[in-house]
Structure 1
Amino acid sequence: MALRAILMASVAAMALTGCTDTDFFREVGSEVDEGGFGNATMNNTMLMTGQIEATVALGRRFANEVPTTINFAFNSSQLSDAARATLREQAKWIRQFPEVRFRVYGHTDLVGSEAYNKALGLRRANAAVAFLVGQGIGSARLEAVVSFGKTRPVIQTPGPEERNRRTVTEVVGFVQDNPMVLNGKYAEIIMREYVKSGKREHPTNTTVGTEVDPSQ
């Protein structure tokens, strides 16, 4: 009975942990680290220092205050006047936060091959980044290496669709060596402009003259 109890406990333990027979009897520490542990550690570090929360908050604020998307003509990576106007708005916002990094994603519609569209999407992203750099944004804070090609359409249609031919600018993180990003106080970066914009001069006090009737 004692042996049966031990075996049943072993089976229960394997069921709870999802281990196989081989995993159960393997010595501790023999598993090969495939890199997942490092990613989790990095994620926890970013979470504890406030970087993730701040990135999400800044990303939401960016999306709420500035148009994040520009569109392109069919089979083109040339910026239209409307696209340039939108990118100027983005650049004005980005200049407020020299600590923040951004990524520009290039997209296409569903016309053409995957390889061609991926290259076209990247050209569009590079065109947007080049314009932002021309507006005074440091190239080290802008990334255009990611292109989804035609894999993430806004509108599911096999034909030409302008809304799918786009780039999208997003907040992705912080410049680690920026002198203003210290001691994990990333929340201060978010609040700085809000606090600054909320400061108003106190109205000047004025003395209102009154006359007293001597007969009273």
Structure 2
Amino acid sequence: MFKHTILLVLLVAVTGCAREVGSNRKSRENFGVASANNTAVHRGERDYVVALGKRFAKEVPTTINFAFNSARLDGQARAILDRQADWINQFPEVRFTVYGHTDAVGSNGYNRALGQRRANATVRYLVSKGIDRRRLQAVVSFGETRPVIDTPDRERRNRRTVTEVSGFLKRHQTLDGRYAAIIDRDYVESAVAQTTLTQAPEQQTITDN
């Protein structure tokens, strides 16, 4: 009996030592998530696409709107596309997708075709501004299926195209340097040295008269 008790104690001790001191399930899970995120960042391309997409949406309007049953670009649409083209031309390795949309008036088939004409018109204009057509090769029409405003009536905000970052032409070594610097630029520029020290007020010297 005494021998069995000693063996049981030793077994518990060995089993306990097999687990790292101070470890717990939550910390191991957090470490795993951090490691996966770190790997994804170093792998790069997917994260660069997401980050550049956010920058694009932050720095230029991504959406233009259309008149009812029309794929014609009005002056406001062309002005927005000029801004998009200026941004896109800064990143010659990046691909973009243009999504065409309509409102809910009309048949699904007609609206899908109309959304495609709007996307094509947007792409043609961007190409006219010097953007390589190969960078805009994915042109998609969602027709009436993804409204901004859910209504069966005419709605200008639903009659639109949306331009988004979709990837890179090919894998570039510059992704690990140049694009990292671009993406991190906001963080670097927002870093302002601060101090918690304040200058103490000058003490008045008291003298006897």
TM range (shorter): 0.5 to 0.7
Distance 1:71 1:144, change over 3 A: farther
Where does 1:2-13 land on structure 2 (aligned, <5 Å)? none
SS of aligned partner of 1:145: strand
Equivalent residue number for residue 100 of structure 2: 106
More helix by share: 2
1:52 matched to which residue of 2? 46
- Supply the distance in 2 between the matched residues of 1:100 and 1:75 (Cα, whole angstroms): 32
1:190 CA displacement? 4.5
Aligned CA distance change for structure 1 residues 75 and 99 (closer, same or farther; 3 Å): same
What's the % identity of the aligned pairs?
Answer: 59
- Matched with 1:152 is 146
Question: Which runs of structure 1 show a deviation greater than 4 angstroms over 4 or more consecutive aligned residues?
Answer: 45-48, 192-195
* CA distance 1:80–1:61, change in 2 (3 Å): same
* Alignment-derived partner of residue 27 in structure 1: none
- Asked whether 1:188 is paired with 2:190, we answer no
Size of the alignment, in residue pairs?
Answer: 149
Q: Please tell me whether residue 164 in structure 1 is matched to residue 131 in structure 2.
A: no
Q: In the TM superposition, what whole-angstrom CA distance separates every residue of 1:135-187 from its partner, at most 9, and x where no partner exists?
A: 0000000135311000000001100000000000000000106xxx12x7345
In 2, Cα distance between the equivalents of 1:171 and 1:111?
29
Code of the residue aligned with 1:188 in structure 2: it is R
Q: How does 1:1-216 map to 2 (within 5 A)?
A: 49-176=43-170, 181-182=172-173, 185-186=175-176, 188-192=178-182, 194=185
Structure 2 letter corresponding to 1:86: I
Pair member with larger Rg: 2
